[in-house]
Amino acid sequence: MTFRCYISSDGVDQIRLWYDAQGDVIQAGLLAVMETLEAINRDKWPESCFKELENRKGSQCDGLVELILKDDAGVHYRIFGFSGPRNDDFTMLLPIRKNDDPTYKRSCEEAQKRKAEVIHDWNRAREWEAPQSD
């Protein structure tokens, strides 16, 4: 399993930019989710940290999945992504704070746009580089 990150048109890794701006709890949570998912077959990924999305009223989420994170204060975060562009890739497209878009309308629209960009140009998804330990 290779985790990939969405790269914007100006060459910025949007997932890493978001990750670096988060506190220790969310950073550790994302790394733990990634380690968990890397250790198990994709068809057995637990819903506690991964969920396939479907279209919701007013949103177009079909074909997207979400990684599920929560901080110590109970604030929920999601990272929208998809399986691809290669068979053994998972590309993280868009991190959100769930309360900022509870219906996922704007989030799914943006994630679908980013997914299309990655499918059109695989250079728009760069391999995740794990942070260096101190």
Measuring CA to CA, which residue among 107, 102, 95 is closest to residue 61?
A: 107
Q: What is the distance of C-alpha 9 from the center of its chain?
A: 18
Question: What per-residue string of b and e applies to 69-79 under the rule 16 or more CB within 10 Å gives b?
Answer: beeeeeeebbb
The answer to whether position 134 is within a domain reads no
Task: Indicate the pLDDT class of residue 41, thresholds 50, 70 and 90.
Answer: confident
The answer to whether position 27 is within a domain reads yes
Range of the domain at 96: 2-120
Mean pLDDT value across residues 10-15: 97
The answer to whether position 127 is within a domain reads no
The answer to whether position 125 is within a domain reads no
The answer to whether position 84 is within a domain reads yes
Mean pLDDT value across residues 6-33: 96
- Predicted TM-score (pTM) above 0.85: yes
The answer to whether position 130 is within a domain reads no
The answer to whether position 77 is within a domain reads yes
Q: How far apart are CA 102 and CA 12, in angstroms?
A: 26
